[in-house]
Structure 1
Amino acid sequence: MTGQNELIKISTLQDRYKLNSRQAVSNRINGLKIQPVARGQISLEQLELLDRLDKHIRGGGAITDFPIQPEVQVDKLDKLNVEPDTNEAMSTTDYLPAINVMAQLIERMMSYTYAPQQRSPLAIYEDLEKIVQFEWILPTSKIKELTGITPKTSKGEEVFIFGSFAFIRTDKIGRETGWKVVHIEFVEQQQLLQSFAKRREPKN
């Protein structure tokens, strides 16, 4: 049986969530503001939170709209000790205490439901990791909406670098250029392979 005080190694999370890089794990931990309880280790409660986030992301969500706040626990109202007079209808004022309590509970629940969530500064990279994972191809307008930058390439170039990610020009999506998002390591590997292949070509 798993003990409540058992610690989980962060190094195991990449395989647990089938992520492409350790940076993706760090993005999730930092995005949720999780502080390791020991060097390179997290608690079971923190693991459960990361499990919920992984399920949320695989369902189409993102770290920015993940509901971290706990559910509001509403205590049951005590049964009103009001015995209605069978010969006289109950007046509206007799209901006021219960109505006021219900109004306060509804207001409290609505404040949790619609409270604005602060966007993590790592949200862009979390979204890009998700795009890499699912191998989506996005039009230029979506790339600009996500990063705030319009990807452009020099003549003869097909790759636009953004941090540790690379946008590779693909076929048109409607009237816009399509972009495939990959890790920059992938582009570097491809360039090395092409350079090696050129050196192997026989000289005339």
Structure 2
Amino acid sequence: MTVQIDPFPVAALLDRYNLGKQAVYNRIDALDIKTFKQGNKSYITASDVELLDQLHDHISAGGKMDDFKSPKAELMNSPVDTLDTSSRLVDRLLPTTGQPDLALGEVVQLVEAIAHHLRPAEPLQHLKELQLAATEGWLLSSSEVEGLLGCKPRVKKGEQQFTRGSFSFVRSGKIGNQSAWKVVRVN
């Protein structure tokens, strides 16, 4: 099982899809995904990563970016997302008959999208994720560590670990083409 960390660093998408920077940003633009900055790094949400995964699967199966249709993308880019109450989607949700015309799945996606935008950001979420990685003994890739810390993991020459805040990061082999890091809680 892959743990999705929200927010997700845009830089990690290059390795995730084995694409260049411009190709990743073309996909982000095509899906009208809004990136946001924390420090000098760009991030997207975990739900945006799911949408990019769907597009990647579509393209890998021979599809084109222009013909990609996702119910989630249609809901996320609908006028409801911009709080336009004249939306046909709102009319389908509460038609004059009193019975919703939306399928249950569409309603669930709409509620999840609204809830996601209303959820306050948790400033200590990265520490919770690091504690979980330390407790579970997970190895994190360099890009995952960078996404959690906001800086690239670096060790001094001849050393195999560095400490940042309450955690030490011990180089422990490779994950793909990146270093693997074991997270250890410092007492």
TM-score normalised by structure 1 residue count = 0.39
Q: Report which of the two structures shows the higher radius of gyration computed on alpha carbons.
A: 1
